[in-house]
Structure 1
Amino acid sequence: MLHLFMKVKSIPQRFNCYASYWKHSRIMRPDDANIVGNVHGGTILKMIEEAGGIISTRHCNTQSGASMLDPSPVQQDRCVAALARVERTDFLHPMFIGEVAHVSAEITYTSKHSVEVQVIVLAENILTGAKKVTNKATLWYVPFSLQNVDKIIEVPVIEYSSVEQEEEGKKRYDAQKMERLETKERNGEIINPVVSPEAYTVGFSQSSLIHLVGPSDCTLHGFVHGGVTMKLMDEVAGIVAARHCKTNIVTASVDAINFHRKIKKGCVVSVSGRMTFTSNKSMEIEVFVDADPLVEAARGKYRAVTAFFTYISLDKEGKPLSVPPLKLENEEEKKRFEEGKVRYLQNKAKRQAEKERQQ
């Protein structure tokens, strides 16, 4: 049960921000969910990225091939949009087997070399017709030339409904650019195995996954889909959370996911996760993705993606449970815990402010 469609208005040179719209729907099946029937957060993230990748790639290939300075047509350099960043994403409601996921995406801002896409996910109970919003996400894409994958293509500009809308988009662009640069400072960290770790420590729950990137993981151009990477990250983070509390767990939110470098077909990716912070009802897990090229071994292993995932623990009725406190064993773990606490308090304040605005 898959329906794909797109509405596009033909506008030369500039594109209205509501002109490009992409939506697809898919019923949730047993292999999309965990053992209690909740759809994996990674499955939803993968659908979000697929929608964003389609709309941004189509937009970046809709240039007329002419400019205002030179109206004569020129040969267009075809490109594919690669995921660069996913802003914080909250899982507002769970999705279950048998429900239909409706994923819609639209382009809301473009800079010279990047595209902002906003995505909304609805879950529909096809027996009752009831619908609920499960996710709202903002993603950033960068278009790369198909002829030279190291070349970034200029993005066709879009037309905004007001000056204020464009200014707000520029603020979001500047903020995410600064945060992406800041995350690179952590890219040298690694997660080492711990021998006979004590329960509820960082070492006790930390987990890793090794995956060989095959053709089914990649675009037609040999690079891994961002959604595939996010699904692997969510699986590892889920294992860390389940090991820590020994209960059913669900993804509550994902802080910004930063894609630092592309991953090619044939690479071996190592996805590693560790607990950084626990509150009374939530757990924060830091996840790293490292890529190791097998064919081009001379390039060496590199850090490709980083993110923080937040999970909550649930009882058999789906109600939140208290989370066992994290036992900290050294100064580095204490430092990461305090950093996680700051993020937790900041996000809590943002959620509260959003509720007040809606009232």
Structure 2
Amino acid sequence: MSDIHKHIEESQVTLSELMLPSHANFGGKIHGGYILSLMDQIAFACSSKHSKYYCVTASVDTVNFLNPIEVGELVTLKASINYVGKTSMIVGIRVEAENIHTGVKKHCNSSYFTMVAKDDNGNGMEVPGLILDSKIEIRRFLKSASRLASKKHSKFQETNFEVEKYISELKNHNVIVDYKGYK
């Protein structure tokens, strides 16, 4: 690991943007794809600020659209580094919308973007570690580490998946199994 460690505040980024009619979907609400694009931008900014390298999106984990965003609302995205590995970082993002007439704010979305630091040749680069100095920072780091560990140790990995072993788990789901490769 890098000998350099940073406080989370050193790489936090906030982005605010007024939602325009051109950002709306056919239902009159702000298009989820537009919000995802803003989230990707802030994840890039936060991870690049932390690592001092160009960063690419490796994965997006759990995007839940909690409340719709209206045209005319001020959307604010807040990004923090929640976890660092050797070359990767998990960026936690919170999206809020504010009615600029009433001042009422609502939580619209939270997500986690895994970003990887790259050099000019596309090679992964080591990223600085984190200095965790609050209960919430420790909780977020450990939660991200736990999520990563469960992904790596899933019993449904493609390379070792055996249908016979798990077929009974489908009985309580709304599916019809028409697969002839098992007995």
Q: TM (normalized to structure 2)?
A: 0.80
Which residue, out of 152, 159, 166, partners 1:348? 152
Distance in 2, matches of 1:251 and 1:262, equals 25
Q: Deviations over 1:223-257 (max 9, x none)?
A: 10000001101111111100110011100001010
Which residue of structure 1 lines up, in the alignment, with residue 127 of structure 2?
323
Note the alpha carbon deviations across 1:199-235, whole angstroms, 9 max, x for none: 6211000101000000110024421000000110111
Q: Per the alignment, in what secondary structure is the counterpart of residue 251 of structure 1?
A: strand
Distance 1:282 1:224, change over 3 A: same
Change (3 A) 1:351 1:211: farther
Runs of 4+ with >3 A deviation: 355-358
Q: Which runs of 5+ in 2 are unaligned?
A: 163-183
Q: How big is the shift at 1:346? A: 1.4
Provide the C-alpha distance between the structure 2 equivalents of 1:279 and 1:211, rounded to a whole number of angstroms.
Answer: 31
Amino acid at match of 1:255: D
The answer for the alignment partner of 1:283 in structure 2 is 89
Q: Note closer, same or farther for the CA distance 1:344–1:222 as it changes in structure 2 (3 Å cut).
A: same
Decide which structure has the larger Cα Rg and report it: 1
Q: Distance in 2 between matches of 1:232 and 1:290?
A: 12
Map 1:294-305; keep pairs closer than 5 Å.
294-295=100-101, 297=102, 300-305=104-109
| CA distance 1:356–1:278, shift in 2 (3 Å) | same
- Cα offset, 1:352, TM superposition: 8.5
For the residue of structure 1 that corresponds to 2:129, the secondary structure is: coil
| 1:306 aligns to 2:85 (yes or no) | no
Which residue number in structure 1 is paired with residue 64 of structure 2? Answer: 258
Partner of residue 205 from structure 1, selected from 3, 11, 23: 11
The separation in 2 between residues aligned to 1:224 and 1:351, in whole angstroms, is 38
Cα distance in 2, alignment partners of residues 217 and 200 from structure 1: 36
Please list the CA deviations of residues 261-286 of structure 1 after superposition, one character each: whole Å capped at 9, or x if unmatched.
00010000001111111112210111
Report if the CA contact (8 A) 2:14-2:78 is conserved. Answer: yes
Give the residue type in structure 2 aligned to 1:292: E
Partner AA of 1:214 in structure 2? L
Aligned to 1:273: 79
Kindly provide the CA deviation profile for residues 313-332 of structure 1, in whole angstroms up to 9, marking residues without a partner as x. Answer: 11221121222211111222
Residue 290 of structure 1 and its aligned partner are, at CA, apart by 0.3
Partner of 1:293: 99
Match of 1:238 among 33, 37, 44: 44
1:339 corresponds to 2:156: no
- Pairing partner for 2:23 from 200, 211, 217: 217
Q: Deviations 1:60-94 (Å, cap 9, x if unpaired)? A: xxxxxxxxxxxxxxxxxxxxxxxxxxxxxxxxxxx
Q: CA shift at 1:288, angstroms?
A: 0.5
After superposition, the C-alpha distances for 1:327-352 in whole angstroms (9 at most, x for unaligned) are 11122211211111101111222499
Residues 258, 313 of structure 1: CA spacing in aligned structure 2 closer, same or farther, 3 A cutoff? same
CA separation of 1:203/1:351 partners in 2, compared to 1, >3 Å: closer, same or farther?
farther
- Tell me the secondary structure at the aligned position of residue 326 of structure 1: strand
> Number of residue pairs matched?
159
Task: Indicate the RMSD between aligned Cα atoms, in angstroms.
Answer: 2.1
Change (3 A) 1:351 1:234: farther
Report % sequence identity: 29
C-alpha distance in 2 between matches for 1:351 and 1:240: 33
Which amino acid letter does the alignment assign opposite residue 55 of structure 2?
I
